[in-house]
Amino acid sequence: MKLNNSLRTRTSTLFYLAATASLLAKVGQAVNHANFKTCEQSAFARRHRLFADTMAKKAAEPNNKNAKSSSSSADGSTHSASSPYSVIDSSVHLDGHTVTASVQHEQAQVPLHFEIAFLKSGTVRICVQEVDPLVPRYNEAHKHILRDKGSSLPYASPEDIKMATEAVNGLVTHTVSYVNGSSAFSVRMTENPWTLEYLVNGKPTMQLNTSGLFHFEHLRQRPADGNLDDVDGGWEETFNNWTDHKRRGPESFGLDINFYGFEHVYGIPEHTSPLSLKDTRGGGEGAYNQPYRIYNLDVFNYQLDSPMAIYGSLPFMLAHNAEATVGVFWVNSSETWVDVTRKLNRGGSNQQSVVNTHWFSESGTMDVFLLPGPSTADVYRQYLEISEQTPMPREFALGYHQCRWNYEDQEDVLAVSAKFREHSIPYDVIWLDVEYTVGKRYFTWDYDKFPNPLDMQQELARNGHKLVTISDPHIMVDNDYHIWKEGNENGYFIKNIGGLGNYEASCWPGVSSWVDFLDPAASKWMGAQYGLDKFPESTTDMFVWNDMNEPAVFDGPEHTMDKALIQHGGWEHRDVHNLYGMMQQRSTFEGLLAREPIAMRPFLLSRSFYAGSQRYGAIWTGDNTASWGYLRASIPMLLGNNIAGMHFSGADVGGFFGNPDPELLTRWFQLGAWYPFFRGHAHFNTERREPWIFGEPYVSYIRNAIRERYRLLPHWYTLFRETSLTGMPLIRPMWMNFPAEPDLFAEQDTFMVGSSIMVAAITRPDTSIPVDVLFPGEEPWYDMHTHVAYPAQLATQFVVDLANTLVFARGGSIIPTREQQRQSSAYMKRDPFTLYVYVDQAGFAAGKLYIDDGETYDYQSGAFIERELTFLGSKLVSRASPLTKNTSAYQTFVQRMSGINVERIVVVGLAVAHNVTEAVVVENKTTRTVNVSHSHSSKIVAADTISNNSPCIVICNPAVFIGDDWEISF
């Protein structure tokens, strides 16, 4: 029965009040695990784990008549040979860059079609599905995830691919080889049982089905006798009060991917696990008993140190040892679980350590990429071959964002903005949560609270600030609400089971429908709502926040959608669940892109994400809590996001739930200034916690943290440029820059910002407790606040009061800054630069400075300045990067930047600094002399008192133009 409008609105309001009351009652409590499945409660996951147990039992019983003898390679790698899958005789063929084969189970005579293809970089793609599926499987995830929709991946040239076949002791193997530059890659496939090894330069790195866990549930007819128990939970399964009706029956698949010679694996966010992923089966103390779940969910007050699924997911995993880094990218958008177990062999045998991983997905087809490295940079180059890079963001997006659920009204917004100016604290964006709307109807304004949104935005813009408003994917069911009315009339909403009628359930507005972003027409329609002609009183200084897009459903199974709902093309929601948030993000991005005649880079934030989300904007770690534990957990979470390619990410500074005390809030701002996305946010039931709330001395400490972020905006922007070109993370675990130092492989309290800055996070109360810091590598490190030098390989402790932080520049780095303090990044655009030169032991340093307009896509046509900076032999040189082309766009941009100079150069650690009295500047064939001054570092307290004063040479006003070639010699 349909509700009339007034009753529906009243019901929605009552539901909202009840939901809010329930939410508030839970603040401070842990997640309710009863609302979310364990592996044992997910039927397909339970089946795959049981299969794994069965195979392990067979492997342990060599006399079992069903077990086959295991085999060993000459390199010492072992193979479990009990898999029931074998290659069908004479089915292996090499066709261009792809090897095809047919594989089938020894009992279920349903042939599976395998494709194994080499890309130019050495990456291998493996695709599997039935030769003749009973009904089509969902096989379009790659169209939304991969570069160019996966239609034009750079496959290797056929003439570079060779295949050799041999039979040894009755085992037939096919070795497919490919040489790329100095690296030789090969795939070794055994026919019976089917296994596959990836070798790099003759060494095995990744092994598939060597534990015998490949298992593919072929599509089948529904039992005619109505007996749905022929497969455990294959046709129906119940969780709490929900029954999942599976019209296609069991269709899952799983595969073991084992990393030979490795002890550490990373990635597969989003979880609250440590950086180096824990074991999930049979591990020692502290190990999990659940796999890592890859399934986007709105998990209230999520648990720390857990493999539970939360808001976003990205099935990309790295393995690293002192010799190599390799990766796996699992392209499937249905619910997926990953088990991790280790076999560590550190003795004298030829058996090396192995990290065994077991991946299993509910539906779709198997599509797996193996990225061979061998270096970390190689892996990310290979990842960029298949997945688009993180684009350059709007420059303002790198500044500080101030958010709260909710700023009460227009007066409150402008008062908060004025307070930032009063306290001389810069910020760039202020945010509005759901309360700006009329009854949670997105694209509307509550004019009682916000009587003149245009005036408010213009007032913010006059001071260089932007506004962000929230827009969720659920649309209130109300015939008087134009968005719902248009969407309903055009069939743009997700459909009920069976495809008849809109799916309706509850979220913030009450009874709601959900936009089907899988439908290109619906996606375009929703994106168009952000147009200036559609969104009332919006301006080009207003941007978007996509929340609740896992999708969150208050009264749905696991607080999300029933998997059997129907989306565009007749696909079930189960096939595309993890894509949903990313596809809303894409719709919003395209809508913002189209709203202006000259394309401006959009800015938007999404809570849910998947592979491909990096193309569209920032994400954050969701609804955290004001505690030291959540502060600590933010580091491995954000490092995990960056490892997996979601670079522009952050965590709510201060914690969304609860009330941080002054010390916690201060430390969170000090750490948050090193998040790629830097935003403070809070629940409406918390006390206000803007940076000035606790008064002195805390406001000064927080002001200094935010100002440090703004000083380093040129460096952050240059790092984004590097990321957009190379795929390398913005913030990195220590091992990425120091790959041969095993002590760093699990380090997560200290991390790198790019390759030049090390942050030793302070994430515990009590400033009397020393903080341990190891200075890795071979070059000295310099405290960025005092310029004290610390030698490489020193392990020391620091006692740090609340006014200070531990941030170090790597010797051999040049870091650009802007030192003049402004109220927003918009007012810094024509400020001069300062260059900090931190020399290594040989007196060398290098760095880059990248500048574009920070707003448009003109940089893609060459409208940018990119300088390569080197210091050697007491000479600092600025040269254009090889990517600089003397195009008209470049010349126009350089002209626009005229007058922007380097105002100061600080050289730290140069041994002959005390002898230097002047410097010679050569620019545009003109030579001039400038004076220099000297300064010395001040010491900070190190528990072992090891520190060195570092002499500094300071050149004030060298007045060299950022776009020119120049040299400065001492």
CATH number at residue 406: 3.20.20.80
Do 811 and 840 form a contact (C-beta atoms < 8 A)? yes
Strands 253-260 and 354-361: antiparallel
Output the pLDDT for position 152: 85
Residue 891: partners with Cβ closer than 8 Å, 6 or more residues away: none
In a domain, 860, yes or no: yes
Which of 720, 744, 759 is the last residue in one of the domains? Answer: 720
CA distance 174 to 163: 7
User: Is the peptide bond between 133 and the residue preceding it cis, with omega within 30 degrees of 0?
Assistant: no
Which of 356, 386, 416 is the last residue in one of the domains? Answer: 386
pLDDT in tens, 245-271: 999 999 999 999 999 999 999 999 999
Output the pLDDT for position 427: 98
Output the pLDDT for position 620: 98
Q: How many CB atoms lie within 10 A of CB 778?
A: 12
CA distance 85 to 357: 19
Strands (E), 550-625: 604-606, 618-620
In a domain, 135, yes or no: yes
Q: Tokens 């707003």 belong to which residue?
A: 855
In a domain, 918, yes or no: yes
Do 173 and 180 form a contact (C-beta atoms < 8 A)? no
Per-residue b or e along 364-376, where b marks 16 or more CB atoms closer than 10 Å to that residue's CB: bbbbbbbbbbbeb
CA distance 593 to 29: 41
DSSP H/E element including 628: helix 628-643
Tell whether 365 and 417 lie within a shared domain: no
Do 591 and 529 form a contact (C-beta atoms < 8 A)? yes
Token reading at 778: 């071979």
Report the domain count for the chain: 3
Q: At what angle do helices 662-672 and 698-711 cross, to 10 degrees?
A: 10
CA distance 40 to 280: 13
Tell whether 346 and 454 lie within a shared domain: no
Tell whether 930 and 833 lie within a shared domain: yes
Name residues of the chain where pLDDT drops below 50. 1-28, 65-76, 81, 938-947
Tell whether 708 and 741 lie within a shared domain: no
In a domain, 325, yes or no: yes
Residue 660 exposure: Cα atoms within 13 Å on the Cβ side: 34
Strands (E), 883-940: 901-908, 918-923, 926-931, 933-936
- Residue 833's DSSP bridge partners are 902
Q: How many CB atoms lie within 10 A of CB 509?
A: 27
What phi and psi, each to the nearest 5 degrees, are found at residue 760? Answer: -100, 100
CATH number at residue 178: 2.60.40.1760
CA distance 714 to 181: 35
Tell whether 305 and 364 lie within a shared domain: yes
Q: What is the per-residue DSSP string for 206-239?
A: EEESTTS--EE----PPPTT--TTSSTTSSEEEE
CA distance 448 to 458: 19
Token reading at 885: 């082309």
Output the pLDDT for position 37: 97
Q: Cα angle at 24 between 19 and 29, to 5 degrees?
A: 115
Q: At what angle do helices 713-726 and 376-386 cross, to 10 degrees?
A: 70
Output the pLDDT for position 46: 98
What phi and psi, each to the nearest 5 degrees, are found at residue 325? Answer: -130, 135
Output the pLDDT for position 63: 62
Tell whether 548 and 615 lie within a shared domain: yes
In a domain, 510, yes or no: no
In a domain, 125, yes or no: yes
Tell whether 709 and 813 lie within a shared domain: no
| 473 phi-psi bin (left φ>0, alpha ψ -120 to 50, beta other) | alpha
Output the pLDDT for position 950: 73
Whole-Å CA distances, 371 to 1, 16, 265, 294, 378 = 54, 47, 14, 20, 9
Which domain covers residue 57, as residue numbers?
39-220+232-386
Tell whether 697 and 767 lie within a shared domain: no
User: Is the peptide bond between 765 and the residue preceding it cis, with omega within 30 degrees of 0?
Assistant: no
In a domain, 25, yes or no: no
Output the pLDDT for position 14: 45
Tell whether 335 and 429 lie within a shared domain: no
Tell whether 668 and 750 lie within a shared domain: no
Provide the Cα torsion 487, 488, 494, 495; round to 10°. Answer: -170
Rounded to whole angstroms, the maximal C-alpha distance in the chain is 95
Tell whether 46 and 105 lie within a shared domain: yes
CATH number at residue 779: 2.60.40.1180
pLDDT in tens, 511-539: 999 999 999 999 999 999 999 999 999 99
Which of 386, 404, 435 is the last residue in one of the domains? Answer: 386
User: Which residues are tagged catalytic?
Assistant: 547, 550, 623
Tell whether 791 and 707 lie within a shared domain: no
